[in-house]
Amino acid sequence: MKLLINNKLLPFIWTACVFYLLSFDTTGASDSAIWKVPGIDKLIHFIIFLIFSYLWGVFFLQHSQFDEKTIIISIIIFGIGFGMGMEFYQKYFTNRSFSYWDGVADAVGTLVGIFWAKKSPYGHRGRNQN
């Protein structure tokens, strides 16, 4: 697990996956039984952005010279901005629609993920490295 988390490419790969997943053509997907579960779309958005901010948080907390507070605030701003930006992208460039509540789920996932990264043993730099 540590080898996977310490992979410097992982946050970049996951960001590309998020872009792909949120750009994916969902025509006909609503016929699937999973989409009939109430709130499943919001749960998926939450999980996608939790992983997104966790990976970026661990990456920057381990490899950046910036202080922890700056890293956390930056990832929160970027994660929420990316989530809302993707909602506008979906509205104007895909067959999907804008959803304010998807953006809220993205934001909550971002917040939970970055604070999980901060508390994670992978997000610590060590005692004298700040």
- Stretches where the chain sits below pLDDT 70 are 1-6, 27-35, 124-130
- pLDDT (0 to 100) of residue 29: 62
Q: C-alpha distances in angstroms, 123 versus 4, 6, 64?
A: 13, 10, 11
**Half-sphere exposure (Cβ direction) of 82: Cα atoms closer than 13 Å:** 24
Backbone angles phi, psi at 76, to 5 degrees: -60, -50
Residue 14 CB contacts under 8 Å (≥ 6 apart), including other chains: 51, 52, 55
- pLDDT (0 to 100) of residue 127: 45
Residue 54 CB contacts under 8 Å (≥ 6 apart), including other chains: 113, 114, 116, 117, 120
**CA geometry: angle 69, 49, 16, nearest 5 deg:** 105
